[in-house]
Amino acid sequence: MKLLLLFGVCIIAIAARREWDDIKREEIREDGYRTQRVYRYLYRGQISSGLPKESTQHAATRIEAHVSLVFPNNERTAVLRLEKVRFGSLNHDIPEPRELQRFEIFEEKEVEEEYLRLLRLPLRFRYVDGLVSEIEFDREDRPWSQNIKRAVLNLLQVNLKKNMRTDIHEERNVREDIELLDEHRE
């Protein structure tokens, strides 16, 4: 339980490509989501701990789930559901701890049916111009399960109205401030 809670709070999500037997890849020609269609994704997340170069021992937890996304009534309100959720754990040397590892190297953990049921509970949210808002969880959902679902939702966030990049300018200001502080120390 503690591992699931830690995983839910600290989850780092990495999206990756993978062919599935039950989901066929199609060429995507749409510029947005449409109502009455089911969109399916493979969510793969991993959280690792350990010092990258100084340590040969690492601990990692891995999650995989099929994500179903439906816009039942309009293109602004969506329902998300996790399916075929599985977890794995690992406690040994990881050559590249920052990279997503193959699920096969993890020891798959059996998850209690009640926890899987909670993870499968749907959530509803608004999706406008690539931004997620007004998230509504099922009344039975628990915080650890909600946090895992928030990590999945976060991958959908793409601000389609953002016209200018501000990160470069802000980075430059921070660097200049640091240089000024260094000059004052001398």
Question: What kind and span of H or E run contains 179?
Answer: helix 167-185
Tokens representing 43? 């969510």
Q: Which of 36, 4, 3 is nearest to 119 (CA)?
A: 4
Whole-model pTM over 0.85? no
Q: Tens of pLDDT along 11-40?
A: 433 333 444 444 454 554 556 778 878 889
Residues of the chain scoring pLDDT < 50: 2-23, 25, 28, 164, 168-172
> What's the pLDDT at 100?
76
Residue 81: strand pairing partners: 68
Report how far apart, in Å, the C-alpha atoms of 53 and of each of 50, 81, 96 are.
Answer: 9, 38, 9
CATH node for 2-185: 2.30.230.10
> What's the pLDDT at 179?
61
Determine the distance from the C-alpha atom of residue 163 to the mean position of all C-alpha atoms in its chain, rounded to a whole number: 25
> What's the pLDDT at 19?
42
Tokens representing 152? 């999945």
| Domain locations in the chain as residue ranges | 2-185
Q: Which of 153, 118, 159, 158 is nearest to 13 (CA)?
A: 153
